[in-house]
Amino acid sequence: MLRSVAVIALDDVAAFELGVLAEVFGTDRTADGFPGYRFDVCTVDGRSVRSRSGFLLTPHADLTPVEDADLVAVPAHADGAAVPKPVLAALRRAADRGAWVLSVCSGAFVVGEAGLLDGRDCTTHWRHVDELQRRFPAARVRCNSLYVQDGRLLTSAGTAAGIDACLHLVRQEHGSATATRLARRMVVPPHRDGGQSQYVEAPIPKAPEAPTLEPVLEWLMGHLDRTVTVDELAGLAGMAPRTFARRFRAETGTTPHDWLTNQRVLLARRLLEETRLTVESVADQAGFGDAAALRHHFTRRVGTTPHAYRTTFRERAEA
């Protein structure tokens, strides 16, 4: 269970990315039933560092809390700046003892300097993916991902994608219900579909008279157990199927099938966590039809089977 978080702040640390980590893990919401964490911002020597925005940041400590933290996080910093050797050594020790290691945006370069990206799936801001691959050729850089989990290594794309990665970790450690409540509290989506390409490419202009797809998405969220086709959804939106498919990708960054599958998997996770329904019943209520289809999509997107997920989550909840 995640109980302690250490954030390593280097000179020229990005204030927003650091703030994301502080907002998710460093804000005490235990009075409202949220999990609490020991949260430390750490610098190499315990002295202040200057942020990219120009102000001085006073840390809680030197690198001592990193040694036993359940999560060690690295926010964005100046790409190309020398990383102090004690930081690299601390990151390696954290990984060796099985701690979570999370980077936000260009923080991936620090993790890479520690040798933790070799042979691993990872990502960073779309502006830096080519440089990350050049600097660390043994890494498997996924250019279009908002965040990537490889074992207990979690890397995110730029800026706001750090929120997605942090909520993903909360979901992994505390369950979907807690992550969804936290997202609602932060006024952000609990899960964003699509990848970085939706932010790199120019979006399709929306005609002033064109209706938003929000009513269709809301209808889908209330009918995840139903079998639906693109033609049916296009009819609900009052569009031709091909126009609907283009508009859907423009507004969500993904296809109707992929978006719907992601939402069904999220619902299945919640049902597995919060109910004692059989896997067959979960598959039916989440719209997969049968347990085999649920296992296929669940395993691809979560990395474990529904049964194993339920067992692991209950063990964490009881810990």
Predicted pLDDT at 78? 83
- Distance from C-alpha of 199 to C-alpha of 298, rounded to nearest angstrom: 27
Task: Mark residue 62 as left, alpha or beta (left: phi above 0; alpha: psi -120 to 50; beta: remaining).
Answer: beta
Give the class (CATH, top level) of 213-318: mainly alpha
CA distance linking residue 148 with residue 100, whole number of Å: 13
CA distance 309 to 266: 12
User: How far apart, in whole angstroms, are the C-alpha atoms of residue 237 and residue 212?
Assistant: 9
Exposure letters 155-174 (e unless 16+ CB within 10 A, then b): bbbbbbbbbbbbbbbbbbbb
Phi, psi of 6 (to 5 degrees): -120, 125
Take residue 279 and report the two structure tokens written for it. Answer: 């896997």
pLDDT the model gives residue 18: 97
What is the pLDDT, as a whole number, of residue 303? 80
- Percent of the chain predicted with pLDDT > 70: 92
What residue ranges of the chain are covered by domains with CATH 1.10.10.60? 213-318
Question: Residues 185-214: pLDDT tens digits?
Answer: 998 887 775 555 444 433 333 333 445 788
Rounded CA gap, 282 and 44, in Å?
48
Question: What Cα–Cα distance (Å) separates residue 275 from each residue in 183, 246, 271, 297, 318?
Answer: 22, 37, 5, 20, 15
The CATH 3.40.50.880 portion of the chain extends over 4-186
- What is the per-residue pLDDT across 254-310, written as a single tens digit (0 to 9) for each? 899 999 998 999 899 889 988 999 999 999 999 999 999 999 999 988 888 999 888
**CATH no. for 4-186:** 3.40.50.880
